[in-house]
Amino acid sequence: MAVAPVRANPTPRSVSILGSTGSVGCNTIALIEDRRADYVVDALTAQSNVPRLAEQARRLRPRLAVIGDPALYGALKDALAGTDIAVAAGPDAIIEAALRPAEWVMAAIVGAAGLAPTLAAVRRGAIVGLANKECLVCAGELLMREARECGAMLLPVDSEHNAIFQVFDFTQPAAVERLILTASGGPFRTMNMRQMADVTPSQAVAHPNWDMGAKISVDSATLMNKGLEVIEAHHLFGLPSERIEVLVHPQSVVHSLVAYVDGSVLAQLGAPDMRTPIAYALGWPRRIPAPSARLDLSRVAQLTFEPPDPDRFPSLGLARSALQAGGTASAVLNAANEVAVQSFLADRIGFLDIARVVAETLALCPRFAVPDLSTVLALDREARRLAESCVLGLHRPQRRRGAARAARAAQ
Ligand SMILES: NC(=O)c1ccc[n+]([C@@H]2O[C@H](COP(=O)([O-])OP(=O)(O)OC[C@H]3O[C@@H](n4cnc5c(N)ncnc54)[C@H](OP(=O)(O)O)[C@@H]3O)[C@@H](O)[C@H]2O)c1
């Protein structure tokens, strides 16, 4: 774990938000707007949502606003005309935004696209609020090594890892026996395979407890999200896969737990509201108020836990296998999953096909032992190409829908 010396928290703290228009980005901005005197915004970035980025920039007055799609430079420039906010576009400009001297950076871009900008912030020794789990999945060893060498601080924003961070005894890591990651189980927790074969993208993104972006919502429904989080926890806290347990906990109140050698188990609890872990990272090393719903355990009444079902949710096992294979296997897993999830959201493949595409791509893609950045990025491209060919092989919407109807009729 990259634990940098605790720094004084200068007021106002200078912050940049990579992925400001997304679910985590908007929550971060809402918290900052509640405490305007404590924060000054240096840079905001988005991929294509010019109206939201421009509106955020007009309110927060960053020095720089960046849009990832170069074709949208003119639209952003026009939308910010009459302000003194600098405008830039393209993937390199997002890296430039990460390199600016903000003390604190929120890494909230979705997917492997967040890797290079996050690494840039880490290499200049920033405090990084790490929401983007995919960059640890793709290049965890590299990112953790660079964080240690460059004096960067990685603060987990994912609610499970943030929970572990709050109860992990960094003064005696050898006393930690295992980590227990909780999972809501997603919207299809109680469905059988026949029902799952026919679910739609809109059902998959309707998470029962959390309000999140589309990709992570689908990942939660397949339990790939938990697989990615096992890999993330391995890199952040240094435990092997077999000492990182997963428990399905449908109430999403216990966000994760740390079990110690003396039999003690410490947990962090709260309402399922991302503003709590984001506020923890934004204020670190101090706690700041967050307007999240308050936990009332008497209303929750029951907390239940059960093991995940490996047959209905094979993605968790695929992620564990990739972690055990080591090297670039996790980067391949991640790229294949990103392609498969996008294909499912575009209604090109069925829900159960997501894990099939990932498994086939893992079997087809070459692996390398040493994941430096250029190898990871090359493998990411190759895995996407192979995953796309798997999707094309499965892309038979008429047959898929017909098969699902037949399965329903047979029930
Ligand atoms: N949402 C949550 O509650 C939650 C919880 C835990 C962890 N996380 C993790 O946090 C990250 C963000 O999740 P999210 O739910 O906030 O995602 P989201 O709502 O989809 O937002 C993604 C953000 O990234 C930008 N973006 C998308 N593609 C990009 C690209 N190729 N290059 C640069 N920027 C790009 C988007 O810009 P546009 O809006 O312009 O497309 C948007 O600002 C993910 O890694 C997720 O796993 C999220």
The model's pLDDT over 270-315, given as tens digits with 9 standing for 90+, comes to 999 999 999 999 999 999 999 999 999 999 999 999 999 999 999 9
What the block records as the tokens of 166 is: 């709050």
Predicted pLDDT of residue 8: 58
The CATH class of the 13-157 domain is alpha beta
* Residues of the chain above pLDDT 70, percent: 94
May I ask the CATH architecture of the domain 170-270+298-410?
Orthogonal Bundle (1.10)
Residue 308, preceding peptide bond in cis (omega within 30° of 0): no
Ligand 1 center to residue 21 CA distance, Å? 8
What the block records as the tokens of 109 is: 């871009």
Which atom of ligand 1 approaches the CA of 274 most closely? 3
pTM of the predicted model, to two decimals? 0.94
Residue 12, preceding peptide bond in cis (omega within 30° of 0): yes
| All structural domains of the chain with their residue ranges | 13-157, 170-270+298-410
What the block records as the tokens of 390 is: 């798997």
Predicted pLDDT of residue 67: 98
Which atom of ligand 1 approaches the CA of 26 most closely? 16
pLDDT at 195 over 80: yes
Least confident of 128-137, 252-261, 262-271, 398-407: 398-407
Ligand 1 center to residue 302 CA distance, Å? 32
Which atom of ligand 1 approaches the CA of 49 most closely? 40
- Other CB atoms within 10 A of residue 2 CB: 20
Ligand 1 in contact with 25 (CB < 6 A)? Answer: yes
Ligand 1 in contact with 110 (CB < 6 A)? Answer: yes
User: Which residue from 21, 109, 136 has its CB within 8 A of the most atoms of ligand 1, so it is best to mutate?
Assistant: 109
Contact 17, 44 (CB under 8 A): yes
The model's pLDDT over 54-100, given as tens digits with 9 standing for 90+, comes to 999 999 999 999 999 999 999 999 999 999 999 999 999 999 999 99
